Amino acid sequence: MISSTIRVLVVDDEEMILINLVAFLEDEGFSVLSTKSGEEALELLASETVDIAIIDIRLPQMDGDTLIIKAHELQPEMKFLVYTGSVNYTLPKTLMNLGISEEQVFKKPLDDIGVLVQAIHQLIDRKE
Amino acid sequence: MKEVNKSKEQLINELAKMRRRITKLEKLEKQRKRAEVELRNTKDYLDNVIESSLDGIAVSDSWGYILKVNKSFTKLAGREEKEIIGKHAMELSVTEEGTYESTTGELVEIDEEFFNHSIKTMTELYDEGKIFNWETYYLRKDGKVVPVEMNIVYLYSEEGEIIGSVGINRDITGRKRAEKDLKHTKNYLSNVINSMPSVLVSVDCEGRVTEWNLEAEKVTGSTKKEASGQPLDKMIPMFAKQMENISQCIRERKQQKVERILSNIEGETQYLDLMIYPLIVNEVEGAVIRVDDITSRVRIEDMMIQTEKMMSVGGLAAGMAHEINNPLGGILQGAQNIMRRIFHDLPKNIQVAHECGTDLEKIRSYMEKRQIAKFLEGIMTLGRTASRIVANMLEFSRESGNHMSLIPNNLADIIEKTVEIAANDYDLKKHYDFRHIEIVRDYDLDLPEVPCDANRIEQVILNLLKNAAQAMGKDRIQAPRIILRTRQFDKMARIEVEDNGPGIEEKNRKRIFEPFFTTKEVRVGTGLGLSVSYFIITENHKGTITVESSPGKGAKFIIHLPLERRSP
């Protein structure tokens, strides 16, 4: 699948992270949606289909783990990447049950955001 | 003249004369009888005196054969009178070498020396005519020996010839027993004093040594005999500073405690506690000084303080790291985006530049000329450095079992691999070629495998090797050498990394594991290497890491790792 047909949702409450990620992914040709909270993300997912979401864990109200579970209920085909600043983050069992593995967890800061692009392609291409 | 021729008058006279004579004779007879009684009385009296004496008295002839003894003597010698009379005095004593039970209850060894001493004493008696307070033994019939004290004098005739001797013998069992008890008590007390693991010395009011226990001998190398009577500060120079405290203690009759005195004996740092208390018998007779080596206690306390400090610093650093990661992510990503949007030929870049009435070449040219590209690279490089530091700091909060598994590993293999890495380390080569260092391997081949995270132990050892190499390189050590040692120590595996570099000053040694503490030049070290090592060993592996060093003597890092994993 070429990048332009892949729809990515980015959820992060830190604005600079958010706009930088969006900018990078757009430059890579993805079609990018973004929200600053889990609640907004779920609202968006009610009407928009997304191939993959990059989700921060520490969010203002609903946390990233919960968001992933709810998003999965809405769109079971959707893939997820966890992008967190919490270094002690360990993948909860509930998420592993959804087929999410450690390779899908990224710790901030990344020296090169390019690794996220690679991860997106790997997940989407595997799906095909 | 015949009777018949005598006149009546004459006869009467004679008769009277006879009567007078008879009366005189009768008087003399009476006197003699009285004298006889008196003499008998006196003899009985003297016999009585001798007989009733509580000391054993024996009278001998000039050859030493016993003529007469009193009751006390028979009791003392443990024999009947008839068994004694006619015997030589020496026969009553012990005549054969051997071990005898004494009336004091102890066993007495009679040897050649005893007989030599007896002969010497007899010679003395012959020369001087008397012996005063001679202590010897009699052998009783029951086989026991009894300690006696003897006084002997010779008896002389009017012509000055020896006609015999009188010996007064006293049973000194009680005294000997008391002496034995006293000796025992004294021994016991001196054992108590000598068994003490502390240096215990006493001094008189002038500060001269009066008591000096075994530990004092051990520590100073001077015997009690050498120390006795010497000024204390001469025997133990470090006491020079304490002499005033000692006099004060004696003067005020108050005990003094001086804690944590830092002393340096043959290059070994030691901590001592000093207790000075007045020695009072009737009056103040001096002072007793107890010195306790509390080095190991201080080390443990230091380690505990260290642990506590490290934990709080570690927690703080880890907390900070969390908060720094997000903004740092923003900075790094922002810089990366700027670089991409200027220096990459993305279609969108070309399109937008065109829309703005320019092209990428012009924009890039401006950026180069104004050094903006360089600034951006700076942001990215330094951002990444910061990111690495933060990642290191995060080691501080990593707990055992989290993110890592401890797998049995051969320590020597890990160390060897690390030496290999160090030898090829490019950064290290710039400052100091590791291959110039002599590596001495002293591995315990019987050391069992140690449960550990091989990569992290490698990281710790590499860090120690690098530090050693840098320190030795900086000081231009002539024959740089690193000794790598493994040992089993109790239920721990022990790794030692020892160099012969410049060593570490005490004030630095205390802070060496603190995060961001460094003595290296700026940019050479971040001050995180050893603190990360510290957390890897103590937190991840539940081990310990310590350092022994003094300036000029090199440094030795000691790591202990548990051989068995403690169940959580």
Summarised one tens digit per residue, pLDDT across range B179-188 is 889 988 989 9
CA angle, B33 then B37 then B39, to 5°: 115
The residue that leads in pLDDT, B47 or B5, is B47
Mean pLDDT of B94-98: 89
Residue of B139, B135, B98 lying closest to B118 (CA atoms): B135
Q: Tokens representing B512?
A: 């060496």
Which runs of consecutive H residues, i.e. helices, occur in B149-195?
A: 173-195
The residue that leads in pLDDT, B260 or B3, is B260
* Average of per-residue pLDDT values in chain B: 86
Does B329 contact A88 at a Cβ distance shorter than 8 Å? no
Contact residues, chain B, for A17 at CB < 8 Å: 326, 329-330, 333
- Residue of chain B whose Cα is closest to the Cα of A58: B326
Q: Which of A23, A85, A112 minimises the CB distance to B325? A: A85
d(CA B185, CA B273): 29
Counting Cβ atoms within 10 Å, is residue B545 exposed (0-12), middle (13-18) or buried (19+)?
buried
The band of B527, judged by pLDDT with boundaries at 50, 70 and 90, is confident
Q: Look at residue B267 in the predicted model and tell me its pLDDT.
A: 62
Does A16 contact B348 at a Cβ distance shorter than 8 Å? no
The band of B284, judged by pLDDT with boundaries at 50, 70 and 90, is low
CB B328 within 8 A of CB B387: yes
pLDDT in tens, B41-89: 888 888 888 888 999 999 999 888 999 999 999 998 889 999 999 998 8
d(CA B492, CA B477): 33
The residue that leads in pLDDT, B368 or B474, is B368
Does A24 contact B340 at a Cβ distance shorter than 8 Å? yes
Does B383 contact A112 at a Cβ distance shorter than 8 Å? no
Mean pLDDT of B236-260: 87
3-state secondary structure of B330: helix
Mean pLDDT of A62-74: 95
The band of B298, judged by pLDDT with boundaries at 50, 70 and 90, is confident
Report CA-CA distances (Å) from B220 to B263, B271, B326. Answer: 13, 16, 62
Q: How many residues does chain A have?
A: 128
Taking chain A, what is the end-to-end CA distance rounded to the nearest angstrom? Answer: 8
Q: Look at residue B473 in the predicted model and tell me its pLDDT.
A: 81
The residue that leads in pLDDT, B164 or B302, is B164
Q: Is the pLDDT of residue B430 over 70?
A: no
Contact residues, chain A, for B348 at CB < 8 Å: 26-27
Return the number of other C-beta atoms located less than 10 Å from residue B372's C-beta.
15
Contact residues, chain B, for A85 at CB < 8 Å: 322, 325-326, 329
Residues 6+ apart with CB under 8 A from B193: B200, B211, B213
Q: Is the pLDDT of residue A35 over 90?
A: yes
Q: Is the pLDDT of residue B1 over 70?
A: no
Does A24 contact B402 at a Cβ distance shorter than 8 Å? no
Q: Look at residue A70 in the predicted model and tell me its pLDDT.
A: 95
Q: Is the pLDDT of residue B402 over 80?
A: no
Between positions 334 and 393 of B, the ones with CB within 8 A of A are: 334, 336-337, 340-341, 344, 346, 348, 383-384, 387, 391
The band of B479, judged by pLDDT with boundaries at 50, 70 and 90, is confident
Does A88 contact B337 at a Cβ distance shorter than 8 Å? no
Does B330 contact A90 at a Cβ distance shorter than 8 Å? no
Counting Cβ atoms within 10 Å, is residue B469 exposed (0-12), middle (13-18) or buried (19+)?
buried
Q: Look at residue B276 in the predicted model and tell me its pLDDT.
A: 92
Mean pLDDT of A100-111: 90
Distance from CA of B556 to the nearest CA of A (A): 33
Q: Tokens representing B500?
A: 């012969």
Q: Look at residue B454 in the predicted model and tell me its pLDDT.
A: 87
Q: Is the pLDDT of residue B396 over 80?
A: no
Q: Name the amino acid, one letter, at B483.
A: I
d(CA A48, CA A75): 10
Cβ–Cβ contact B397 with A under 8 A: yes
Cβ–Cβ contact B187 with A under 8 A: no
- Residue of chain B whose Cα is closest to the Cα of A18: B330
3-state secondary structure of B441: strand
CB B56 within 8 A of CB B68: no
Q: Tokens representing A102?
A: 């450690």
The residue that leads in pLDDT, B3 or B563, is B563
The band of B26, judged by pLDDT with boundaries at 50, 70 and 90, is very high
Does A108 contact B329 at a Cβ distance shorter than 8 Å? yes
Return the number of other C-beta atoms located less than 10 Å from residue A50's C-beta.
21
Does A14 contact B326 at a Cβ distance shorter than 8 Å? yes
- Residues forming a β-bridge with B290: B200, B275
Residue of B96, B91, B89, B172 lying closest to B125 (CA atoms): B89
Q: Which of A24, A108, A111 minimises the CB distance to B337? A: A24
CB B207 within 8 A of CB B244: no
Distance from CA of A40 to the nearest CA of B (A): 21
Residues 6+ apart with CB under 8 A from B311: none
Residue of B149, B190, B155, B189 lying closest to B170 (CA atoms): B149
What DSSP string describes chain A?
--GGG-EEEEE-S-HHHHHHHHHHHHHTT-EEEEESSHHHHHHHHTT---SEEEE-SS-SSS-HHHHHHHHHHH-TT-EEEEEES-TT----HHHHTTT--GGGEEESPPS-THHHHHHHHHHHHHH-
Q: Look at residue B568 in the predicted model and tell me its pLDDT.
A: 44
> Left (φ > 0), alpha (ψ -120 to 50) or beta: where does B552 sit?
left
Residues 6+ apart with CB under 8 A from B465: B418, B419, B422, B434, B482, B497
d(CA B263, CA B269): 6
Mean pLDDT of B368-394: 87
Residues 6+ apart with CB under 8 A from B17: none
Residues 6+ apart with CB under 8 A from A69: A94, A95, A98
Which runs of consecutive H residues, i.e. helices, occur in B152-293?
A: 173-195, 214-220, 224-227, 232-235, 243-252
- Residue of chain A whose Cα is closest to the Cα of B398: A88
Pairing of strands A79-84, A105-107: parallel
The residue that leads in pLDDT, B389 or B288, is B288
Peptide bond into A109 cis (omega under 30): yes
Q: Look at residue B350 in the predicted model and tell me its pLDDT.
A: 93
Contact residues, chain B, for A27 at CB < 8 Å: 337, 340-341, 344, 346, 348
The band of B235, judged by pLDDT with boundaries at 50, 70 and 90, is confident
Distance from CA of B393 to the nearest CA of A (A): 11
d(CA B336, CA B357): 25
Residue of B259, B346, B335 lying closest to B297 (CA atoms): B259
The residue that leads in pLDDT, B281 or B328, is B328
> Which residues of chain A have a Cβ shorter than 8 Å from any chain B Cβ?
14, 16-17, 20-21, 23-24, 26-27, 85-88, 90, 107-113
CB B68 within 8 A of CB B59: yes
Q: How many residues does chain B have?
A: 568
- Residue of chain A whose Cα is closest to the Cα of B329: A109
Between positions 8 and 47 of B, the ones with CB within 8 A of A are: none
Q: Is the pLDDT of residue B165 over 60?
A: yes
Mean pLDDT of A104-115: 89
Does B326 contact A85 at a Cβ distance shorter than 8 Å? yes
Long-range contacts of A57-64 (CB under 8 A, 24+ apart): A57/A82, A57/A84, A57/A86, A57/A89, A58/A13, A58/A84, A58/A85, A58/A86, A59/A11, A59/A12, A59/A13, A60/A13, A60/A36, A61/A37, A62/A37, A62/A38, A63/A38, A64/A11, A64/A38
Contact residues, chain B, for A21 at CB < 8 Å: 333
- Residues forming a β-bridge with B438: B481
Does B325 contact A108 at a Cβ distance shorter than 8 Å? yes
Q: Is the pLDDT of residue B248 over 70?
A: yes
d(CA B216, CA B198): 8
Name the least confident of A1-10, B250-259, B409-418.
Answer: A1-10
Q: Look at residue B398 in the predicted model and tell me its pLDDT.
A: 55
d(CA B260, CA B216): 18
Residue of B404, B385, B498, B508 lying closest to B457 (CA atoms): B404
Q: Is the pLDDT of residue B283 over 80?
A: no
Return the number of other C-beta atoms located less than 10 Å from residue B23's C-beta.
10
Distance from CA of A114 to the nearest CA of B (A): 10
The band of B401, judged by pLDDT with boundaries at 50, 70 and 90, is very low
To the nearest whole percent, how much of chain A has pLDDT over 90? Answer: 71
Does B329 contact A112 at a Cβ distance shorter than 8 Å? no
Tell me, rounded to whole angstroms, the distance of Cα B420 from its chain centroid. Answer: 45
What DSSP string describes B109-134?
EE-HHHHHHHHHHHHHHHHHSEEEEE
Residue of B332, B371, B355 lying closest to A24 (CA atoms): B332
d(CA B347, CA B61): 145
Does B328 contact A109 at a Cβ distance shorter than 8 Å? yes
Q: What is the ipTM of this complex?
A: 0.81
Does A24 contact B333 at a Cβ distance shorter than 8 Å? yes
Cβ–Cβ contact B330 with A under 8 A: yes
Q: Which of A20, A86, A90 minimises the CB distance to B330? A: A20
- Residue of chain A whose Cα is closest to the Cα of B390: A109
Q: Could you give phi then psi for residue B154, rounded to 5 degrees?
A: -80, 150
Distance from CA of B344 to the nearest CA of A (A): 10
Return the number of other C-beta atoms located less than 10 Å from residue B328's C-beta.
20
Contact residues, chain A, for B403 at CB < 8 Å: 90
- Residue of chain A whose Cα is closest to the Cα of B386: A109
